[in-house]
């Protein structure tokens, strides 16, 4: 992965920020930093399918402590990926019936490329 030398400083930043009372603000800061440092996903290859078993929880930042309460996808759900960073992928999920949207970071290990995207390939 790109920027592996920055993994330790980012992890230390997470520890320092979470030792205070502002976990939500800390997660927002970590997410912004992860988007800055992470690898962008090409729009023409952005389609992902949830694999494995059970619920796949969303996180507000690519770190376990930023897990979102009661927001998840399940195997077979289709997502759009935007960025990848340290084992997490930033995604958008659109519920096929209600059209409600959910955004966040999910564990990359539970995703498979669907062979689709949101833009034509060059």
For residue 119, being part of any structural domain is answered with no
- Torsion on CA atoms 50, 54, 60, 63, rounded to nearest 10: -100
Higher pLDDT, 15 or 62: 62
pLDDT on residue 23: 67
Q: Is the pLDDT of residue 7 over 80?
A: no
Q: Is the pLDDT of residue 122 over 90?
A: no
Q: 10, 33 in Cβ contact below 8 A?
A: yes
What's the domain range around 46? 4-113
For residue 120, being part of any structural domain is answered with no
Mean pLDDT across 91-106: 95
For residue 22, being part of any structural domain is answered with yes
Higher pLDDT, 22 or 43: 43
For residue 31, being part of any structural domain is answered with yes
Considering its fold, how many domains does the chain have in total? 1
**CA–CA separation, 103 and 81 (whole Å):** 10
Mean pLDDT across 93-101: 94
What residues pair up with 56 in beta bridges, in sequence order?
73
For residue 121, being part of any structural domain is answered with no
Residues 6+ apart with CB under 8 A from 91: 48, 79, 80, 81, 82, 103, 104, 105, 106, 111
pLDDT on residue 60: 96
pLDDT on residue 121: 84
For residue 86, being part of any structural domain is answered with yes
- Torsion on CA atoms 72, 74, 80, 82, rounded to nearest 10: 50
For residue 66, being part of any structural domain is answered with yes
**CA–CA separation, 90 and 21 (whole Å):** 25
For residue 28, being part of any structural domain is answered with yes
CA 108 centroid distance within chain: 8
pLDDT on residue 10: 41
pLDDT band at residue 51 under the 50/70/90 scheme? very high
Higher pLDDT, 6 or 80: 80
Residue 59, token pair as written in the block:
């996180």
Residue 47, token pair as written in the block:
């389609």
Question: Which tens digit of pLDDT belongs to each residue from 8-22?
Answer: 344 434 444 444 445
Mean pLDDT across 39-56: 96
């Amino acid at each position: 992965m790109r920027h592996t030398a920055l993994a330790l400083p980012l992890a230390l930043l997470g520890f320092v920020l979470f030792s205070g009372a502002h976990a939500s603000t800390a997660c927002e800061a970590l997410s912004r930093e992860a988007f800055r440092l992470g690898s962008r996903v090409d729009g023409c290859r952005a389609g992902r399918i949830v694999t494995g078993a059970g619920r796949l929880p969303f996180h507000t930042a690519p770190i376990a402590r930023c897990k979102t309460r009661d927001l998840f996808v399940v195997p077979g759900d289709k997502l759009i990926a935007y960025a990848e960073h340290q084992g997490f992928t930033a995604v958008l999920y659109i519920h096929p019936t209600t059209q409600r949207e959910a955004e966040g970071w999910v564990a990359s290990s539970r995703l498979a490329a669907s062979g689709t995207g949101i833009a034509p390939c060059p």
